[in-house]
Amino acid sequence: MELNNLTPAAGSVKTAKRVGRGAGSGLGGTSARGMNGAKQRSGYSKKIGFEGGQMPMQRRLPKFGFKNINHVEYKAINLNMLQQLADKKGLTEIGLIELHEAGFINKNVLVKILGNGTLTAKLTVKANAFSKSAEAAITAAGGIIEKI
C-alpha cells in the first residue's frame, strides 16, 4: 500500500447534488426547493414560535401573576432535625456547615429554623432566620440563638 493507490472505502463518498443545471439533470428549474415562496428563497428562517399564521401559543394564553423581586427563599429546618443531629453526632453547636455536612441543605441556601418537634439538647444554633416558636424552644432548652 502506498500513497498513490489509496482510495476511500466503497460507498463512503457520495457525489455532490448539482442543482440548477438544467431540466435534463432532474434538479433544474426550482433546484429541488419546491414551488415559489419564502422557503425557496436564500436566507429564509421562520420566526421562533411561528405556527403558520395561526395565533401563536404565547399570544393565545393570558398573562397572569408577577415575580416579587424582594422575595427571599429559605430552606426550612425543624427542631426535631436539630435534635437528631445533636443525638447522632454529639454536637453542641449547629450551623450551616454542620447542616450541609449532614446532608440537610445545599451549600448556598438560606436556612430558617422552625419550631416543629421538640428540642431537649442545649445547643448553640446559627441560622439566617428563626421562627418565634423555634426561638422560644431553643432558649427554653438552655440554648443560644445566633442570626447570621
The residues spanned by each domain of the chain are 74-147
User: For 59-85, what is the mean pLDDT?
Assistant: 93
C-alpha cell at 126: 446559627
Instruction: With cut-offs at 50, 70 and 90, classify the pLDDT of residue 92.
Output: confident
Name the pairing type of β-strands 93-94 and 124-127.
parallel
User: For 52-78, what is the mean pLDDT?
Assistant: 94
User: For 74-103, what is the mean pLDDT?
Assistant: 91
pTM: 0.58
Q: Which residues contact 104 (CB under 8 A, 6 or more apart)?
A: 75, 77, 81, 85
Q: What percent of the chain has pLDDT over 70?
A: 100
User: For 34-49, what is the mean pLDDT?
Assistant: 90
Answer yes or no: are the C-beta atoms of 84 and 106 closer than 8 Å: no
Per-residue pLDDT at 27: 92
Q: Which CATH code for domain 74-147?
A: 3.100.10.10
Cα 136 to the chain's mean position, in Å?
Answer: 37
pLDDT of residue 91 exceeding 90: no
